Amino acid sequence: MKVAVMGYGTVGSGVVEVIESHDNVITKRTGGEPLEVAHILDLRDFPGDPHEKLFTKDFNDILSDDEVRVVAETMGGVEPAFSFTMKLLKAGKSVVTSNKELVAQKGLELLEAAEESGANYLFEASVGGGIPIIRPMSQCLAANNIEGVAGILNGTTNFILTKMIEEDMDFSDALKLAQDNGYAEKDPTADIEGFDACRKVCILASLAFGKHVYPNQVATEGITKITLEDVAYIHSIKGVIKLLGQIKYISDDKIAAFVSPAVVQHGSQLASVNDVFNAILVRGDAVGDVCFYGPGAGKLPTASAVVADMVDAAKHIERKKIFGWGAGSEDYVVDYKSTIEMPFYVRAKANKVKIQAIFGEVKFLSRIGQPSDEVAFITDRMTENALDNKLAGVDVINIIKVTNY
């Protein structure tokens, strides 16, 4: 079967590589039909690339090729990926993607277009890179009420936090190392401010609970305020700080979804997820906690997930997969700060007496080199708004959510 690849960057070139190097397994899994790359769309030139004859700068070469039934979109960004994908789906071609920004922003419209034309729109690679998560989650869903999802969804920030936790490296040094290793971009904003994790939370939430969640509905906080002092305090209670995307079921019409640093206790499967690895924990009412771990990014891992979707799309040319969701609404995602209760880690310039006067008996933490006017403690369960009220007169340095995953 003829296929096309749009975007010949890291993932796209990986897709072509995996298709060529895994001809045997792919052919076996499609039931006998190999995938053959017929077009590669990219505006750049790749002189000397062995696929020179396949390159095109004209999207219509793919759209108008009736033999191309499956297209991988690995361009990234919303436009022109959205327009191209929409046209392909409307023309009845299936599209698979690693583009989390597009799925998070425009997934609903694209899924609806696919629904109408009978094509498939698959996006396994858009969350968790090479980790199979879309199908396992869909399967968990079949006989569970999902209570919550928590994920380490961004490899760059997990790498930085791992260096801070395990090697006592400070944030800016760890960020620089991530950049030197190619894990972080020159402008690391999307990673360290949590925007990338936010997009993945949108996709997971949409899938888990059946209604589209948009990035602007997800309160998002990055890791730039985390310091080695916080790491040390949390270490003293056998915990680690991770950037987590969290989704919580409230009712069929309400969920909470947020991205933030969070304290995870040793012993949790999420605590031992280090470096650039990702993990997604799904809590179901029947199954309990299941967790999926693997490389969250990287050329070949992500490409292998894209190609697996291409294989699935090729097998399902004549019938629909049912991954998808409906429309949400503005008030579908609640303000978690007024609704979700949890314990918090608080670090402040204050003395214990003052804190106890406000919070009653709390668990104080300590670290080597702790100044006499600094306290750190874990609160009881309460909403973040309630916490903020209590802390109104306190000189707070940092607040971090404490999870029960």
Chain positions contacting a second copy, by CB under 8 A: 18, 21-22, 25-26, 28-29, 31, 124, 130-132, 135-136, 139-145, 210, 267, 269, 271-274, 284, 286-295, 298, 300-301, 303-305, 307-308, 311-312, 315, 319, 322
CA distance 50 to 52: 6
Distances 95 to 68, 84, 118, 308 between C-alpha atoms, Å: 11, 10, 12, 12
Minimal distance, residue 311 CB to a second copy, in Å = 4
CA distance 301 to 278: 12
Catalytic annotation on 176? no
Burial (CB count within 10 angstroms: exposed 0-12, middle 13-18, buried 19+), residue 79: exposed
- Phi, psi values for residue 285, rounded to 5°: -75, -25
What angle, rounded to 10 degrees, do the helices at 195-209 and 100-117 form?
A: 30
Which CB sits closer to a second copy, 102 or 300? 300
Query: Pick from 243, 239, 228: which is nearest to 278 by CA?
Result: 243
Minimal distance, residue 34 CB to a second copy, in Å = 13
Minimal distance, residue 135 CB to a second copy, in Å = 5
Minimal distance, residue 132 CB to a second copy, in Å = 4
CA distance 265 to 239: 4
Minimal distance, residue 374 CB to a second copy, in Å = 32
**Residue 152 φ/ψ region, left for φ over 0, alpha for ψ in the -120 to 50 degree band, beta for the rest:** beta
Minimal distance, residue 96 CB to a second copy, in Å = 11
Minimal distance, residue 209 CB to a second copy, in Å = 11
Which CB sits closer to a second copy, 146 or 350? 146
Query: Pick from 337, 355, 343: which is nearest to 396 by CA?
Result: 355
Which CB sits closer to a second copy, 5 or 192? 5
CA distance 264 to 241: 6
Which H/E stretch holds residue 244?
Answer: strand 239-251
Which CB sits closer to a second copy, 103 or 307? 307
Among 200, 211, 321, 401, which one carries the catalytic annotation? 200
CA distance 80 to 159: 31
Which CB sits closer to a second copy, 309 or 374? 309
Per DSSP bridges, beta strands 344-349 and 219-220 are: unpaired
What SS3 class is residue 206?
Answer: helix
What angle, rounded to 10 degrees, do the helices at 81-90 and 100-117 form?
A: 20
Minimal distance, residue 287 CB to a second copy, in Å = 4
Q: Using an 8 Å Cβ cutoff, are 81 and 105 in contact?
A: no
Which CB sits closer to a second copy, 13 or 56? 13
What angle, rounded to 10 degrees, do the helices at 23-30 and 10-21 form?
A: 80
Q: Using an 8 Å Cβ cutoff, are 338 and 256 in contact?
A: no
Which CB sits closer to a second copy, 21 or 189? 21
Which CB sits closer to a second copy, 255 or 387? 255
Per the listing, tokens 């199979």 go with: 132
- Residues acting as catalytic residues: 200
